[in-house]
Structure 1
Amino acid sequence: VLAVAKGHPLEKHKAVSIRELREESFVSFKEGSRLRSLVYAACIREGFEPIITYECASPRILVAEDLGISILPRLMAETPGPSISIIPLDPPLSRSVAIFSFEGRYLSPAADIFLRYAEKYLGRGIP
């Protein structure tokens, strides 16, 4: 989803395409991040390089301060934190998440809890 500061001109849109972000300044995850690569590739497909003004591990904080926009996973955008506006992308970006385990092998209690969590929340098809 697109994350923008409260009061940003895009805030009133029901959905936004990547193409509409051509002139925007981005707050991005650091280079090497899979999500950054996904966003970069989507922008290139639309004929432009994103203007990356800031890089950090928590783009939402800088977005809330109106230092740029960011494309975040929905789960990250909807978690408690600094106030931002969330706008769906049209068409949405998606990524695959895979978890492997060997049947019959010991799983620690923490790993077992994590696998159940992943099945419950990621198995729903949340992008």
Structure 2
Amino acid sequence: MEIRQLRYFKEVAEREHISEAAIHLHVAQSAISRQIANLEAELGIELFERVGRNVKLTPIGKIFLEHCTSALQAIDFAKNQVDEYLNPEKGTIKIGFPTSLAGHLLPTVISAFKKEHPNVAFHLRQGSYDFLIDAVKNRELNLAFLGPLPTKDDSIHTTILFTEDFSILVPSNHPFAKRKSIPLIDLRNEDFVLFPEGYVLHKLAVEACNSVGFTPMISSEGEDMDAIKGLVAAGLGVTLLPESTFYDSTPRYTVKIPIETPSIRRTVGIISPVTRDLSPSEKVFHNFAMQFFSRLGQYQ
């Protein structure tokens, strides 16, 4: 069994068309057909069945694809590690991040890192909270920023970079806009603007309100930070957001107000897999991020 055969098989399986796979791989169609036939002969099974001009995986072919994908990911990862050990300053770092950390944290730390390591490249992947955790577990990513950090998961390492409070964001013409602080219970009759159900910031906001005895009335939802802030600015409700989302500025026509009680906080940090070592460039970045936020914390 050859790596080339596995790559040909995976390409055909994903495209369900041999000629399209051949075009993408820049090889002759006959070469792909021959290598897949050799692979099937070695395994003693049929991996594909023909459906008109297309091909589809057989049931056993689908099982083989799962293992083939994992094997190729492991091989590519190993090759990248070898390349980076030869020159860790020219590696590529793949990092996942959620929308709540995209506006300030990510560009700030990467910009500072690039000043010291200008030849290291970055591949950035934005995703939901659960997606990022699964991506680290399933070899799609080795590093991901996350807030809050998950607890009680033996398959991932967690490194806290900082802890931050939540604040209330209200329209600038809101009756509470001139207050210095607000007990969360005072918002029990307010309309809320939140991320949709399934987003971790939705969960944190609802749990905070429940902790003081009410369920927030959700009038509007937005799927990114700018949408949430824009809906508040338009007067459609109030929201709860972490401090790091206000680092650049508080949006026009809104006012940020500290929460008096209860204390609502989240940890922000990096997750990495327990079962895999980080590449040299990933280790350098991980250590840099820890030192970077440690230095920032000394002046806060």
Name the TM-score class by shorter chain. Answer: 0.7 to 0.9
Segments of structure 1 that go 5 or more residues without pairing to the other structure are none
In structure 2, do the counterparts of structure 1 residues 105 and 31 end up closer, same or farther at CA, with 3 Å as the change threshold? same
Counterpart Cα distance in 2 of 1:70 and 1:118 = 32
Q: Which residue in the other structure is 1:29 paired with? A: 195
Counterpart Cα distance in 1 of 2:188 and 2:209 = 8
In structure 2, do the counterparts of structure 1 residues 44 and 98 end up closer, same or farther at CA, with 3 Å as the change threshold? same
Counterpart Cα distance in 2 of 1:64 and 1:32 = 24
TM-score by length of 1: 0.79
The count of residues paired between Structure 1 and Structure 2 equals: 123
Query: Which amino acid letter does the alignment assign opposite residue 68 of structure 1?
Result: G
Q: 2:264 aligns with which of 74, 93, 109?
A: 93
Q: 2:293 aligns with which of 116, 120, 124?
A: 120
Query: Which amino acid letter does the alignment assign opposite residue 95 of structure 1?
Result: R
CA contact (8 A) 1:27 1:52 kept: yes
In structure 2, do the counterparts of structure 1 residues 85 and 99 end up closer, same or farther at CA, with 3 Å as the change threshold? same
Segments of structure 2 that go 5 or more residues without pairing to the other structure are 1-166
In structure 2, do the counterparts of structure 1 residues 42 and 105 end up closer, same or farther at CA, with 3 Å as the change threshold? closer
Q: 2:234 aligns with which of 50, 60, 65?
A: 65
Is 1:45 the equivalent of 2:215?
Answer: no
Query: Which amino acid letter does the alignment assign opposite residue 112 of structure 1?
Result: F
Q: Which residue in the other structure is 2:278 paired with? A: 105
CA contact (8 A) 1:16 1:87 kept: yes
Higher relative contact order (CA 8 A, sep 6+): 1
Runs of 4+ that moved beyond 3 A: none
Q: How does 1:12-23 map to 2 (within 5 A)?
A: 12-23=178-189
Counterpart Cα distance in 2 of 1:113 and 1:2 = 32
CA contact (8 A) 1:26 1:50 kept: yes
From the two aligned structures, give the one with the greater strand fraction.
Answer: 2
The alpha carbon displacement at 1:94 in A equals 0.5
TM-score by length of 2: 0.36
Query: Which amino acid letter does the alignment assign opposite residue 93 of structure 1?
Result: I
The alpha carbon displacement at 1:114 in A equals 9.8
CA contact (8 A) 2:182 2:260 kept: yes
The alpha carbon displacement at 1:105 in A equals 3.2
In structure 2, do the counterparts of structure 1 residues 48 and 85 end up closer, same or farther at CA, with 3 Å as the change threshold? same
Q: Indicate the percent of aligned positions where both proteins have the same amino acid.
A: 30
From the two aligned structures, give the one with the greater helix fraction.
Answer: 2
